[in-house]
Chain A
Amino acid sequence: MQLISTLGNLKPMSARPPGSLIDDLALQAWMRAVASSRDKQAYEQLFDCIAPRLKAQLTRLGVARSEAEDIIQDVMVNVWIKAGLYVAEKGSVLAWVFVIARNVRIDRARKLKPQVHLDFSEYDEPDSRDTPEEETVRNSQAAALKVAMATLPDEQREIYELIFREELTQAEIAVKLKLPLGTVKSRMRLAQAHLRKALEN
């Protein structure tokens, strides 16, 4: 298959060893326990689920071990101190952690004062419990994301793999796939259009 040869060292999804399955509802319950009563046992559960996943990603990217450990430490301490700002109807715990980890790494790379990161700015607002209606919206969004993933064409899946697993820039992807930058950008737009469409339905 063409896709697999161009992916090089990436293995297709099915051939990868499965990590332990994620139950986001369990993660959310632990987040609530940490937020409301500083529950250390719940926090340890979060650590045991999240830290090994961060470690695997940082190893894959070739981040040096001591730097990787510092990043994991920063991210996990952030999870503790910001647990009360997590709002379940805005997204999964893992996506929230993904954004925290990205921001920690941007700030560490700069070694200057932290930037203000705002795409999850609603997390900075006081929590409000889900109304039944919001819960329905949230559940249907999660279902739509699953559909988007399942129906993603190979060419677009490859783009997401290169962006999020290998963390390549547009220009680096163009070099790797031997494609013009414009073609890479249009594949990115097609992939995002696919996501939008799945969310609209």
Chain B
Amino acid sequence: MTTPNHHLDDATLLAYAAGTLPRHLRIVAASHLEACAECRAMARNTAELGATFSLKDDVEAVKPDLKAAVMAKVDTATLHRLPVAHPRSDLPRALAAEIGIENFDQLKWRKAAPGIEMVKLPKEAGAPGFFGLLRVKPGANLPDHGHGGTELTLILQGSYHDELGQFRQGDIADLDAAVQHNPVADKDMACICLVANDAPTRFRSFAARLMQPFIGI
């Protein structure tokens, strides 16, 4: 895979490092990190700051029996084994582990709009927004839309282009309320994206807004 050209926003990366992203956004961010050495390095450096701010200064004594309990546990603990090579999977590990599915064909795609199929994925109870996969036919376009909150779109297969440029496998579009865009799948193959947002998408066209309750994005 080529090195990604589009990365996580620094504000998102910081929330990821701190562990405060909602779970469905976290899975998409983790999936990009799998493909992106640059963002992994930045996540590690951010963790250094996290450790500095949260662990470096203050100490509080722990009870001796807590230490005794840990020492007893490590006596019988099995060591972490180095993972064997992972079987080839269409999906990022962070997502495959979550939903127990490895290949695009195992997913239950359903028609969402002309040229667009969709799979909704489970979110945390009560979490607002959308989490799912979109499969867009070659050359088809997503309705021109803006965002209510943060939206992460990771390309898993194929590519699309919009006002921001071309997005290929491994690239992530990390967009907030300020961005309005009109993505079109490139013509060579269907484009499959993993999408998570934390507030409803705002479609610009009246027809798309009428469709929205049925699409559910």
Residues of A in contact with B (beta carbons under 8 Å apart):
13, 16-20, 22, 40, 43-44, 47, 50-57, 59-60, 69, 72-73, 76-77, 80-82, 84-85, 90-92, 94-99, 102-103, 105-106, 110, 113, 115-122, 124-126, 141, 145, 148-149, 160-161, 163-165, 167-170, 182, 185, 188-189, 191-193, 195-196, 199
Contact = CB atoms under 8 A, between A and B. Distances in A.
A57 B97 CA distance: 30
Interface string B5-31: 000011101111111100100110010
Given A51-B70, A188-B14, 9 more contacts: A13-B57, A16-B58, A44-B71, A53-B55, A53-B59, A98-B55, A116-B93, A121-B34, A170-B15
A72 B62 contact: yes
Contacts of A189: 9-11
B173 interface: no
17 contacts: A16-B57, A19-B56, A51-B66, A54-B55, A69-B66, A76-B70, A91-B48, A92-B51, A94-B56, A110-B23, A117-B30, A118-B30, A121-B34, A160-B49, A188-B14, A189-B11, A192-B10
A120 B66 contact: no
Interface of B: 9-11, 13-20, 23, 26-27, 30, 33-34, 40, 42-63, 66-67, 69-71, 73-74, 77-80, 82-83, 93-94, 97-98, 124, 176, 178
Tell me the dominant secondary structure on chain A's binding face.
helix
Contact of B27 (A57, A73, A115, A161): A115
Closest 4 pairs (CB-CB, A-B) = A192-B10, A119-B43, A164-B53, A56-B58
A167 B13 CA distance: 14
B94 A165 contact: no
